[in-house]
């Protein structure tokens, strides 16, 4: 990441958590600075290394390096999570729809996929994510252990929770004179036959079906590209976990997604901000002020 992004993160965690302040002991000796603590945390996340491999670089003990890492993760999630883990608001939804209409997929809000490693030979935790063409990760669901596939993950994922509760921004579009009021996501063949999921055509026959399958599979690579960039920037997500705490694992994965989105935002062209990429505030207010009752929930679902 660029220096100003690092400084923004450092200033945010220092203002949020007193642990990152440079303090004096009883003898008046200065302790570790916020630069040292943030540097060791980001290096451990970027390279996926344990604390004893970076302690000499920052002149800190292994235990202090680990404490700095987990304190850094908690602070980043609390400070930057509401902005960089937000669900698409009305402005984001309009922009995503406009971009994907030009790509030939009206009503598309992104691509969805689950990724894991060690499905057969070892324990694993699966990350399900929704990403758009600009590599921004709009939704992440992490923490299910054991042997799963995309169907079992989707049944527990909150990706469609707002839609089922009637709190999602409105999406209206037409395809061949058919009106639709739900946004859709591109998915692979294992996902269920839902109206919110657009899958490819297996063994397409005819030029039109082959063309659709080709375009769908090409556009679906957005989320796989986002995973690839995430892996290249945050090496810790590619290595076996070094802790047994699922809470710490969730915090580490979440902070990797947050910093990924921060870097994506920073590296975009300046002209793209005119299309509504800036943070527009909190998530939109629900369309229904009160929680949906059982009949409304069934209808939405």
The 10s digit of each residue's pLDDT in 119-154 is: 556 667 788 889 999 899 998 888 777 677 777 788
User: In sequence order, which residues have a C-beta less than 8 Å from that of residue 197 and are 6 or more positions away?
Assistant: 112, 184, 185, 186, 187, 191
Condensed to tens digits (0 to 9), the pLDDT of residues 242-282 reads 788 888 999 999 999 999 999 999 987 655 445 444 444 44
Is 48 in contact with 37 (CB distance < 8 Å)?
Answer: no
For the ranges 107-116, 139-148, 207-216, 225-234, the lowest mean pLDDT is seen at 139-148
Structure tokens that stand for 49 in this block = 């290394």
Which of 86, 55, 126, 111 has its CA nearest to residue 282? Answer: 86
Give CA–CA dist 160/45, Å, rounded.
30
Q: Strand, coil or helix: what is 196? A: coil
Condensed to tens digits (0 to 9), the pLDDT of residues 29-61 reads 888 889 999 999 999 999 988 888 887 888 888
pTM: predicted TM-score of the whole model, two decimal places: 0.84
Q: What is the pLDDT of residue 262?
A: 94
Interaxial angle between packed helices 3-16 and 34-47, expressed in degrees from 0 to 180 and rounded to the nearest 10:
120
Starting at the edge strand that comes first in sequence, how are the strands of the sheet with 184-187 ordered?
Answer: 137-145, 125-131, 108-115, 184-187, 197-199
Vertex 13 angle, CA 11 and 14, to 5°: 60
Pairing of strands 184-187, 178-180: unpaired
Which of 297, 301, 276 has its CA nearest to residue 288? Answer: 297
């Amino acid at each position: 990441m660029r220096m100003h992004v690092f400084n923004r993160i450092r200033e945010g965690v220092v203002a949020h958590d007193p642990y990152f302040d440079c303090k004096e002991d009883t003898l008046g000796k200065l302790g570790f600075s916020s630069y040292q603590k943030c540097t060791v945390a980001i290096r451990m996340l970027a390279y996926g290394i344990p604390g004893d491999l970076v302690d000499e670089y920052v002149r800190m003990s292994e235990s202090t390096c680990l404490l700095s890492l987990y304190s850094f993760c908690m602070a980043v999630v609390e400070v930057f999570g509401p902005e960089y883990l937000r669900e698409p608001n009305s402005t984001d939804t309009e922009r995503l729809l406009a971009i994907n209409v030009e790509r030939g997929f009206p009503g598309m809000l992104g691509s969805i996929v689950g990724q894991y490693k060690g499905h057969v030979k070892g324990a694993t935790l699966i990350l399900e994510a929704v990403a758009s063409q600009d590599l921004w990760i709009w939704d992440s669901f992490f923490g299910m252990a054991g042997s799963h596939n995309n169907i079992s993950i989707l049944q527990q994922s909150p990706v469609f929770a707002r839609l089922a509760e009637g709190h999602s921004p409105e999406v209206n579009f037409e395809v061949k004179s058919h009106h639709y009021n739900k946004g859709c996501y591109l998915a692979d063949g294992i996902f269920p036959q839902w109206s919110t999921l657009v899958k490819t055509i297996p063994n397409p026959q005819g030029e039109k079906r082959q063309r659709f399958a080709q375009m769908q599979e090409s556009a679906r690579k957005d989320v796989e590209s986002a995973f690839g960039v995430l892996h290249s920037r945050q090496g810790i997500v590619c290595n076996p976990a070094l802790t047994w705490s699922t809470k710490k694992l969730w915090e580490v994965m979440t902070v990797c997604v947050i910093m990924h989105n921060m870097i994506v935002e920073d590296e975009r062209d300046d002209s793209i901000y005119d299309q509504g990429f800036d943070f527009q505030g909190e998530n939109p207010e629900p369309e229904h002020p009160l929680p949906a009752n059982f009949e409304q929930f069934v209808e939405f679902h």
